[in-house]
Amino acid sequence: MSAAITLNDLGLIQGDILINGFPKKAEIFCFFTIRAAGAFSKNIKSTNIATGKDVLALRKEISGLPDKQLKKTAMTNIAFTRSGLTKMGDVTDSFRTGLPDLQKAAPSFWNGMQDPNERNELGDPEFKEWNAAVGSSNGVGPLDGVLIVAGSDRDTVRAELQKVLSQLNGNDEVVKELGREEGKEREKDPGHEHFGYLDGVSHPQVIGIDGPGDRGKLGFPLDKVNQPKDSSNSVEPGVILVGRKGDNSNLPAKPAWARDSSFLVFRKLEQHVGAWNDYVVKNGGSNSKQFGAQLMGRWKSGCPIQKSPDDDVPKLAFENDFKFARGDAKNCPFAAHIRKSHIRQGLNSSRIMRRGIPYGGDFVDGGPDKDRGLLFACYQSTIERGYGFIQKAWANKADFPEIGKSGFDVTIGQSKDTKANQFFVANGSRSTPINPANDFVTTKGGEYFFVPSINLLKNGFDLSQLPKPKVGQPELKA
C-alpha cells in the first residue's frame, strides 16, 4: 500500500474527493454519452479537471474571506460508468486488458445501480418510476459518465460546464449531454437540507490530511467542526481512495492502474417536506421539535441530541466529538439517521465522504410536496463496504444496531418489511409506526461511477503510459 498522502499526491487525485470537496453554493451533475471514443481519450488529456491540490489552494485562499463568501470560481471533476470505461477499452488495448480485474474487484459498480438484484437490496423503486436525468438515455446512447461542476454561483458553474464540454468536444460532437441535475445552497437556510437540519457535519477525518494533529502538515485550513481529539472519527486514506493504506475488502484485489481513484455513488432523493412536517407534529405534539431531532439525531441547528437531548443549543451546531455507547439510547434513538449511518463504535472502514447539495425551491405550506430534495453524492474505495453496506445492512434493517429496539431510518431507509415500519423514541419506551415506508424520501434515480486518478485521465487511459511505482513503493494489493 502507498504511504501517507503528500501535497504532490493531491495533484494526482480528483479534487472533490478529499479536502472537504469543492467549495460550492451551486452544482451541476451533467450526464453524458460518448459519441467518439477515440477523440474523447485524446481530448480528456487536456481537459481542465480539478485536483485535490487545486482545491486545497482555493480553500486556503478563501479561508480569510468573510463567512459564507466564496471567490467567483468553479471546478470540474469527471466519473464514468462501466459503459464509459468499456468505450475507453475499445480504443486503448492496455486498458481493455485491465478491465476484467476491475470487474472482479468492484461488482456493484460493474453491474450498476439498476441491476435487479442491486435494486432489490437497496429497496429502490422500479426503474420505470425514476425521473432523474441519470435514469434515461433519451434515445441517444448509454450513460457513459458524469461531469461534476461546482462553484460560487449558478451562472459561473453553468459557464464552466460549457467550457469543459467545449474542451471535450473540440470541433466535433465527441460527447452528447443526456441531461443534468442542478443543485444550489438554500438561500434562506444555507447549509441546511430541505427538512431544515444542518448537513455535512459528520464527515470522517482522513489520517495524514485532517486527522488529529494532521492539518498543519498540508496547510489545510480549519473549519467550524469540532472533531474528536482521538482517532475515533479517523479513517485511513484507503477507505476513500483505491490503493492507499486501508483499502481492504473481502473482494479480489483492485488493479494497480486504479491507484488514487475512487467510486462515486449518485442518488437523487426527493424529500416530501410537508409529509415530514405533518408527521413530526402529529407524533411529537408539543415536543415536535424534539421528536424531529430524535428522528434525525441532531436538532435543526446541528446540535447533536446525544449532547443535548432536551434543548437545541446552537453553539453546539458543529459538534462532532461524541460517541454512542452500545445498548444506550437514553438520549439518541438507535434508529436516528446519524446513528444508523455511523454508529460511532468502530467500523470506520465503512465510512464515506458525502458531497450532496439540495435541489428545488423551499417548501411552502399548502404547496406541492415534490420537486425538491437532495442530490446525494459520496466517495469510497469500495461501494460494497461503504455506501452499499450502510444502506443495505444498517439503514434498511429494523434490528440494527439493537435487535427489537431500533426500527427504521425514516430519512434514507427503504424496506418492504412491515417490521421495519416503526421507530423507537429515545428511551425506547414506545414504538411510533411509520406507515407506509418511504413517505418522506423517494429515490428518483441514481448510478455508480468510477472516478479515475488524474494520471489515468492525463494519459488517455493508456496504461502503458502510467508512471511506474517508485522504488520501494509496493504494487497495489488491495
State yes or no: cis peptide before 436, omega within 30 of 0. Answer: yes
> Can you point out the beta strands (E) in 20-174?
26-34, 74-80, 145-151
The reported pLDDT for the residue numbered 43 is: 98
User: What percent of the residues of the chain are helix, what percent strand, and what percent coil, each to the nearest 5?
Assistant: 30, 20, 50
Closest CA to 27 of 267, 355, 264, 454: 355
Q: What number of CA atoms fall less than 13 Å from residue 47's CA on the CB side?
A: 33
Q: Are 409 and 337 in contact (CB under 8 A)?
A: yes
Closest CA to 331 of 309, 304, 302: 309
Crossing angle of helices 93-105 and 82-91, in 10° steps, is: 150
CA distance linking residue 455 with residue 49, whole number of Å: 11
The reported pLDDT for the residue numbered 386 is: 94
What SS3 string covers 297-335? Answer: CECCCCCECCCCCCCCCHHHCCECCCCCCCCCCCCCCCC
CA distance linking residue 443 with residue 387, whole number of Å: 15
User: Which residue shows C-alpha cell 449518485?
Assistant: 266
CB contact set of 469 (below 8 Å; sequence gap of 6+): 256, 475
Q: What are phi and psi of 394, to 5 degrees?
A: -115, -65
Burial classification of residue 310, based on how many CB atoms lie within 10 Å of its CB (0-12 exposed, 13-18 middle, 19 or more buried): exposed
The reported pLDDT for the residue numbered 224 is: 86
CA distance linking residue 113 with residue 103, whole number of Å: 15
* Partners of 474 in beta bridges: none
Crossing angle of helices 288-296 and 273-284, in 10° steps, is: 120
CA distance linking residue 334 with residue 295, whole number of Å: 10
Neighbouring C-beta atoms of residue 416, cutoff 10 Å: 12
Helix (H, G, I), strand (E, B) or coil at 33: strand
C-alpha cell at 421: 415500519
Helix (H, G, I), strand (E, B) or coil at 43: helix
The reported pLDDT for the residue numbered 431 is: 66
Give Rg (Cα) of the chain.
22
Angle at 126 between CA 363 and CA 143, to 5 degrees: 90
The identity of residue 428, as a single letter, is: G
CA distance linking residue 201 with residue 190, whole number of Å: 13
What are the domain boundaries of the chain?
7-268+446-465, 271-350+380-444
Q: CA dist 223 to 10, 125, 466, Å? A: 19, 38, 35
CA distance linking residue 432 with residue 358, whole number of Å: 28
CA distance linking residue 185 with residue 367, whole number of Å: 21
Helix (H, G, I), strand (E, B) or coil at 291: helix
Separation of first and last alpha carbons in the chain: 8
Angle at 54 between CA 164 and CA 217, to 5 degrees: 165
Closest CA to 392 of 370, 413, 364: 413
The reported pLDDT for the residue numbered 416 is: 66
The reported pLDDT for the residue numbered 337 is: 93
The reported pLDDT for the residue numbered 118 is: 95
Q: Are 43 and 168 in contact (CB under 8 A)?
A: yes
pLDDT means per 10 residues, the chain with 478 residues, are: 78 97 97 97 98 95 78 97 98 95 97 94 80 68 96 98 98 95 96 96 90 77 85 93 92 94 97 94 91 95 96 96 88 90 82 97 94 98 95 81 73 70 70 65 94 98 83 42
The reported pLDDT for the residue numbered 51 is: 98
